[in-house]
Chain A
Amino acid sequence: MATVVGNGGGSPNRPNGGGRATVPNRRGVTGPELATPPLVVRRREEEETVVTFPSLVFREFLAAMGITGFLMLVSTWVNAPLLQRANTAITPNPAKAPWYFLGLQELLERFPPVMAGVAFPTFVIVGMILTPYLDKNPSRRPQDRKVAISLMTVYIMLAVAFVVIGVFFRGVAFTWQWDRVLGHPGVNPGT
């Protein structure tokens, strides 16, 4: 099944999604050239393709059913938390942000607020958006991307570590405590 050219009666649907085989995506190729990739120049024997429907759609369906089933199971057994009605007079100790912001809260413990609350997050978000423009290395092979992969891995490990610390090791007044993990009594169930 190699001949896919002309499929779809001249519709703009490109059978092959386009890609590397046609326009070499080199740095410096910008604008219109990128906007009009493969339609014209395409080698006949590209990678093998399959019809989206039903091949891909079926997999998507399976994945959707799988996660629905999983979440239904979890939802039957584990209840979403609900504490006492909000009371601004009583501050729980520790007071914690949602888990995905605990990394930020952890930074706030360790750095001056302007850095932790403003500079770092701005740097991370702007840095993330600009990543493709800063990384000028055209190769996608892991062997050629040692620096990029190392940086990202360090970042992910730090982020995960901070969240884990925030959720499990931060107790009263957000100080370090082993109680939750080791199961000692007397710790205020924060989250």
Chain B
Amino acid sequence: MRATGAGGPNPLVKFASQLWGSIFRHGLPSTDKVAARTALTNFFLHIHPVRVKKSAIRVSYTLCLGGLSFFLFILLTISGLFLMFYYIPSVDQAYQNIKDLQFVETFGLVTRNLHRWAAHGMVITVWLHMARVFYQGSYKPPREFNWAIGSILLVVTLLLSFSGYLLPWDQLAVWAITVGTNMAKYAPIAGPYTRYVMLGGRTVGQGALIRFYVLHVVALPLIGFILMVIHFWRVRKDGFTGGL
């Protein structure tokens, strides 16, 4: 909303207009050309191509699933950030922190719920996204490598969810992780060591909590984010498969 016409000497209007123009190089697109320029010069929009095939953006084609996975990732990052303000990864405090989030902190309950349900949701959308890519044969050349990156993203998504599961430090958390990490034990030779490294000990205790915490809030989101950037870059470069 440029202050068009209001060319009066009002310095406030002038400043507002300069400020707006310095951030957004273009107004709302009136022609295709302006629309193209908008997309090209806006950081958040430039991950998109300027034009897309009409068939490729039919909702029935992508079902929005890749995009929704990414959006849930952002939602999880934001809600997770708020949870981090209150959560201390210590076996003595973690459980009480979660209780406080539920019963004391303003909006603590809904933030925690949101984080939890979005996490489950992301596991589902990533899975469905994988299924849609498969059924449409979108993994075929030249997109083989992007499928491989996607596969790793699926694993990262599962690990993110799994590592978060332990953090509330309630009976559900600790025993689910006990069962989950017991599975790693069965690998020949490496198994018991793998489990020991995952847990930082033989049982699920403080060592496991801090490891899972660091993985959950730093390592895995970072890995996931980098992989997503590559994933999107390749979607751009390889082009969208488009309708059948």
B220 CB-CB contact with A under 8 Å: no
Binary CB contact string for chain A from 42 to 55 against chain B (1 if under 8 A, 0 otherwise): 00001111111111
- A145 CA / B72 CA spacing, docked (Å): 32
Is the CB–CB distance between B71 and A67 below 8 Å? yes
Q: Say whether B59 contacts A47, CB under 8 Å.
A: no
A95 engages B179 (CB within 8 Å): yes
13 contacts between A and B (CB under 8 A): A19-B239, A51-B36, A51-B39, A52-B35, A53-B29, A63-B64, A79-B113, A95-B176, A98-B161, A101-B158, A133-B144, A139-B137, A140-B137
Tell me if A161 counts as interface (CB < 8 A to partner B).
no
Contacts of B95 in A (CB 8 A): 85-86
Known: A53-B48, A98-B180. 9 other contacts (CB 8 A): A20-B242, A34-B142, A74-B117, A86-B170, A96-B179, A104-B183, A132-B140, A142-B244, A145-B137
Q: Of residues A18, A46, A80, A87, which shows the largest number of chain B Cβ atoms within 10 Å of its Cβ?
A: A80
| B interface footprint on A79-99 (CB within 8 Å = 1, 0 otherwise) | 111111111101110011111
Task: With CB as the reference atom, state the residue of chain A lying closest to B44.
Answer: A57
- Contact of A131 with B147 in the complex, beta carbons under 8 Å: yes
Q: CB distance A74 to B113 under 8 Å?
A: yes
| B interface, size bucket | 35 or more
Q: How far is the CA of A90 from the CA of B134 in the complex (A)?
A: 44
Nearest CB of B to A58, in Å: 10
Query: Could you tell me the distance between the alpha carbons of A128 and B169 in the complex, rounded to whole angstroms?
Result: 33
The verdict on B81 contacting chain A, using a C-beta distance below 8 Å, is no
Closest 4 CB pairs of A and B: A140-B137, A18-B239, A75-B113, A17-B239
B198 within 8 A of A: no
Q: Pick from B45, B143, B243: contact of A132, CB below 8 A.
A: B143
Please report A residues at the B interface, Cβ cutoff 8 Å: 1, 4, 7-8, 11, 13-20, 25-27, 29, 34, 37-38, 46-57, 59-60, 63-64, 67-68, 71-72, 74-76, 78-88, 90-92, 95-101, 104-105, 108, 113-114, 116-118, 125, 128-129, 131-133, 135, 138-142, 145, 148-149, 152, 156, 191
Whether A68 and B75, one on each chain, are in contact in the complex, defined by CB atoms closer than 8 angstroms, is: yes
Whether, in the assembled complex, B16 has its beta carbon less than 8 Å from a beta carbon of chain A, the answer is no
Q: Cβ of B90 < 8 Å from any Cβ of A?
A: no
The residue in chain B whose Cβ has the minimal distance to the Cβ of A11 is B40
Interchain CB contact (< 8 A) of B180 among A68, A79, A101, A152: A101
A51 partner, pick from B35, B117, B186, beta carbons under 8 A: B35
B residues whose Cβ falls under 8 Å from a Cβ of A: 29, 32, 35-36, 38-40, 42, 45, 48-57, 59, 64, 67-68, 71-72, 75, 91, 95, 98-99, 102, 109-110, 112-118, 120-121, 123, 131, 134-144, 147-148, 151-152, 154-155, 158, 161-162, 165, 168-176, 178-180, 183-188, 191, 203-205, 236, 238-244
Q: A75-B110, A78-B117 are in contact. Are A97 and B172 (CB under 8 A)?
A: no
Q: How far is the CB of A190 from chain B (nearest CB, A)?
A: 9
Given A117-B184, A132-B144, A91 contacting B175 (CB threshold 8 A): yes
Which residues of chain B come closer than 8 Å to A113, judged between CB atoms?
A: 183, 185-186
Minimum Cβ distance to chain B for residue A11 (Å): 6
Q: Which residue of B lies closest to A159 (CB)?
A: B127
Q: In the complex, what distance in Å separates the CA atom of A100 from the CA atom of B52?
A: 35
Among the interface residues B38, B55, B117, which one has the most CB atoms of the partner chain A within 10 A? B117
Measured in the bound complex, the distance between the Cα atoms of B205 and A133 in whole Å is 42
- A144, B53: Cα distance in complex, Å: 24
- Bound CA–CA A191/B95 (angstroms): 18
Closest chain A residue to B45 by CB distance? A53
Q: Are B241 and A52 in contact (CB under 8 A)?
A: no
Q: Are A8 and B169 in contact, CB atoms less than 8 angstroms apart?
A: no
Cβ contact within 8 Å between B68 and A63? yes
Residues of B within 8 Å of A48, CB to CB, are 53-54
